Chain A
Amino acid sequence: MSTNSEVANIKPPAIDVGVLGWVRSHLFNGTLNSIATIFLLLVGVKFIPQFIQWAFIDSVWFTSGQECHEAKGACWSVVTQNIRFNVFGYYPYEHQWRPLVAMIILISMLVYSRDWKKWNRRLGYLWLFALFIMGLLMKGGLFGLVSVESTKWSGLPLTLLLSFFGILASYPLGVALALGRQSTMPVIKAFSVVYIELIRGVPLITMLFMSSVMFPLFLPEGVTIDKVLRAQVAIIIFTAAYVAEVVRGGLQAMEKGQAEAAESLGLNYFQKMRLVILPQALKIVIPPTVGILISAFKDTSLVVIIALYDILNTTKSILNVPEWTGFSTEAYIFVALIYFFFCFSMSRYSRHVEAELEYTTENK
Chain B
Amino acid sequence: MNTEQSQVNEKSAAEKPVIEIINMHKWYGDFHVLKDINLQVQPQEKIVVCGPSGSGKSTVIRCINRLEEHQRGKIIVNGTELSRDLKNIEKVRAEVGMVFQHFNLFPHLTILENLSLGPIWVRKMPKKEAEELAMHYLEIVRIPEQAKKFPGQISGGQQQRVAIARSLCMKPKIMLFDEPTSALDPEMIKEVLDVMIDLAKEGMTMIVVTHEMGFAKTVADRVIFMDYGEIVEENEPNEFFDNPQHERTQLFLSQIL
Contact = CB atoms under 8 A, between A and B. Distances in A.
Interface of B: 65, 67, 90-91, 93-98, 100, 102, 104-108, 110, 117-118, 121-122, 148-153, 163, 166-167, 170
B104 A258 contact: yes
Interface stretch (A56-64, A190-198, A262-270): A262-270
A361 B102 contact: no
A265 B94 contact: yes
A266 B94 contact: yes
A261 B122 contact: no
25 contacts: A255-B102, A257-B102, A258-B104, A260-B104, A261-B98, A261-B105, A263-B90, A264-B65, A264-B67, A265-B94, A265-B167, A266-B90, A266-B93, A267-B117, A267-B118, A275-B117, A276-B106, A357-B108, A359-B107, A359-B151, A360-B153, A361-B110, A361-B148, A361-B149, A364-B148
Nearest to A358: B150
Leading 8 A-B pairs by shortest Cβ distance: A266-B94, A261-B104, A257-B104, A264-B98, A265-B118, A266-B122, A359-B150, A266-B93
Contacts of A267: 90, 117-118, 121-122
B100 A257 contact: yes
Interface in A241-282: 255, 257-258, 260-268, 271, 275-276, 279-280
B85 to A, nearest CB: 15
Given A264-B98, A267-B90, 4 more contacts: A265-B93, A266-B122, A280-B107, A361-B150
Contact of A263 (B67, B150, B152): B67
Interface residues of A, number: 23
Contacts of A359: 107-108, 150-152
B167 to A, nearest CB: 8
A260 B66 CA distance: 10
A282 B81 CA distance: 36
Interface of A: 255, 257-258, 260-268, 271, 275-276, 279-280, 283, 357, 359-361, 364
